[in-house]
Amino acid sequence: MDNVAIVVEDLEAAVAFFLELGLELEGEAVVEGAVPDRMTGLDGVRSSIAMLRTPDGHGKLELTKFLAPAAVAAAPQDPPPNTLGLHRVMFAVDDIDDTVARLRRHGAELLGGIAEYEGVYRLCDLRGPSGIIVALAERIG
C-alpha cells in the first residue's frame, strides 16, 4: 500500500494534529488539471494536499482539501464507528495517556474511554479534525 487519503476541511489543523501524533511532513502541493480530473471523475479539480509519513517510513497519509469542486459532507455529520466505509486509521503509540492529552489540545475527543485488551494492549478511538476517527494502541504486555 502506498498511502491512505483523507479529505479534510481545515488542512492546517489536520496537519498539526497528525504532526502531534508523530507523523512527519513529507511535502505539500496544489494539484489540478487533467490527471486529478481523470483519477477522480470530477471536472475542474483543484486541491491542496499534504503528504505525511510514519516515523518508520513504512506508512503514508495524504490529507486533501478540495478547493474545487467543494468537498461534500457525508451524512450523518460525525458518523458513528459502525458506519459503512472507511472506519478509522490506527497508530501504535508508546504512551496512550500522553498521546491523548496532546491530541486533545488539537480538538480530539475520546469516543468512549481507554480500554485494556487481555493485558496486551491499551486502546482507544478519538475523533479528530474533519470528524476523522483515529485509533491508538499502546502495547503493554
Residue 83 pLDDT greater than 80, yes or no: no
Q: Which amino acid is at 7?
A: V
Q: In what order do the strands lie in the sheet with 24-32?
A: 4-7, 60-68, 46-53, 24-32
CATH no. of 4-68: 3.10.180.10
Three-state DSSP at 131 gives: helix
Residue pLDDT, tens place only, 102-139? 999 999 999 999 999 999 999 999 999 988 889 999 99
Residue 84: per-residue pLDDT: 66
Q: Is the fold of 4-68 the same as that of 89-139? A: yes
Q: How far apart are CA 50 and CA 116, in angstroms?
A: 33
C-alpha to C-alpha distance for 106 and 38, rounded to whole angstroms: 35
Give the pLDDT band (50/70/90) at residue 77: confident
Q: Are 127 and 137 in contact (CB under 8 A)?
A: no
Give the list of residues 6+ apart from residue 103 with CB closer than 8 angstroms, or none. 17, 20, 21, 126, 128, 134
Residue 72 has pLDDT above 90, yes or no: no
Q: Where do the domains of the chain lie?
A: 4-68, 89-139
pLDDT digits (tens, 9 = 90+) for 19-52: 999 999 999 999 999 999 998 888 999 999 999 9
Tell which CATH classification among 3.10.180.10, 3.30.590.10, 3.30.470.20, 3.30.70.890 matches the domain 89-139: 3.10.180.10
